[in-house]
Amino acid sequence: MWYLFLIIWLSKHLLLVFHIVGCILRYLTNQLLNKTTITKFLQSDYKKNCQPCFRKKNQ
């Protein structure tokens, strides 16, 4: 039965889930293209793209 709850939760938070997946995919493509380090990702891409969105969601 727990998977029903998971499906309901995911459907309610679909935009957030897609955003997280998008951030991960963007990070992975950056890794492949630029061979960037995790710290460089955290300094630039994460702060620019993910943090403002998470702040909005949490407010």
Domain segments of the chain as ranges: 1-28
| Amino acid residing at 1 | M
Quick one: which of 31, 26, 21 has its CA closest to 46? 26
| Token representation of residue 1 | 């039965």
DSSP 13: T
The total of other beta-carbon atoms located within 10 Å of residue 6's CB is 10
- Sequence-ordered alpha helix ranges (H) in 1-59: 2-12, 14-34, 38-41, 51-58
Is residue 41 within 8 Å of 27, Cβ to Cβ?
yes
Q: Average pLDDT of each block of 10 consecutive residues along the chain (59 residues)?
A: 83 82 84 63 62 60
pTM over 0.95: no
